[in-house]
Structure 1
């Protein structure tokens, strides 16, 4: 399989909006119509349906991991596999099925990291959990984990190009959280577990 074809398939895989798929499966309202409007697990949780939120989280993580794993199984290099993960991540953020307006990409990024190196993924997950438990802000936890990903990459990975992919994912994550950063600064950011608002 040519690399271009791999990246296209990975992008389409990443574009699957599990927040919307799981919401429909559980008979819930479209997550883009309440809370933050973000089609992601945290916003689905605001519906009060933990099953739908967990399904969304698992689906979004798996598509990131699957893109990297499939590339590895097909014999692509570690860097090419990381690029496939990046393509899946960008598919989630800029989903072709949602008119190129997808989610923030936190869960999909975690799946990509797990495919690249378990140590990087576990480090970022630990950062997310600690910050989330202390602050109860999912966005603050995501930002901290995003900043930690390239640093963890420097420790666990040897290939500089792959660390560059981690840096690109982190940069997009931070950019996608620009509105959250403003709300955190203003004290208006919603906390984990808050119920949905129209």
Structure 2
């Protein structure tokens, strides 16, 4: 029974959209109705500046980490820890508190990954920073990090079940970035800090 509660708690934590909450608190309105329509840090940056973006990034990443720490605090087995992280990620994508209109999961997925395995998390962060610095496009950096994350986990000391949970997270990240992928292919994807077209 406690296992079900922990996984459900992971989903509920994930359902707290930092971008929506931060934007409302700063009087920016709902980020899902402006810019790219995504409540993530990149869109919040375009709408409200660096402070709002940093708060969104910390909030979304932090809830992913918190979900895993909660599972560890209750000494859950690796499969439940894996499911809790996946639940937090899905909660961000389809949040019960925000009409199931969520984000793309990059920051929350990173928070989960970092709490699952800090070496894999740091490798994914380095990948994001490198691709973002070269390509100047947040979506491209996120896609690269998501694709490589299962490989980083496989090479880390994390249990195999954690790697298996990362695979659908990576796939969902790609799915949620369909519009970005199309814009990347036709050269219209905004650069970091640039307003969406």
Specify the alignment match of 1:21 in structure 2: 21
Counterparts of 1:30 and 1:113, CA distance in 2: 27
Distance 1:68 1:158, change over 3 A: closer
Specify the alignment match of 2:6 in structure 1: 6
Q: Deviations over 1:103-146 (max 9, x none)?
A: 00000000001110100100000000000011111110000000
Distance 1:34 1:16, change over 3 A: same
Counterparts of 1:160 and 1:53, CA distance in 2: 33
Counterparts of 2:148 and 2:47, CA distance in 1: 30
Counterparts of 1:35 and 1:189, CA distance in 2: 13
Counterparts of 2:5 and 2:182, CA distance in 1: 38
Distance 1:30 1:171, change over 3 A: same
Distance 1:175 1:125, change over 3 A: same
- Displacement of 1:29: 2.6
Specify the alignment match of 2:34 in structure 1: 34
Aligned partners of 2:23 and 2:48 also within 8 Å? no
- Displacement of 1:34: 1.7
Q: Deviations over 1:10-59 (max 9, x none)?
A: 10110001101111222213211221100111100001421111000000
Normalising by the residue count of structure 1, what TM-score does the alignment of the two structures yield? Answer: 0.95
1:90 equivalenced with 2:68 (yes/no):
no
**Unmatched runs of 5 consecutive residues or more in structure 2:** none
Counterparts of 1:196 and 1:33, CA distance in 2: 13
Counterparts of 2:7 and 2:171, CA distance in 1: 20
1:73 equivalenced with 2:78 (yes/no):
no
Counterparts of 1:148 and 1:76, CA distance in 2: 26
Specify the alignment match of 2:179 in structure 1: 179
Normalising by the residue count of structure 2, what TM-score does the alignment of the two structures yield? Answer: 0.96
- Displacement of 1:78: 2.3
1:122-137 alignment, distance < 5 Å:
122-137=122-137
Distance 1:74 1:187, change over 3 A: same
Specify the alignment match of 1:169 in structure 2: 169
Q: Give me the CA root mean square deviation.
A: 1.3
Counterparts of 1:92 and 1:48, CA distance in 2: 21
Structure 1 ranges of 4+ moved more than 6 A: none
**Aligned residues, how many?**
197
Aligned partners of 2:82 and 2:161 also within 8 Å? no
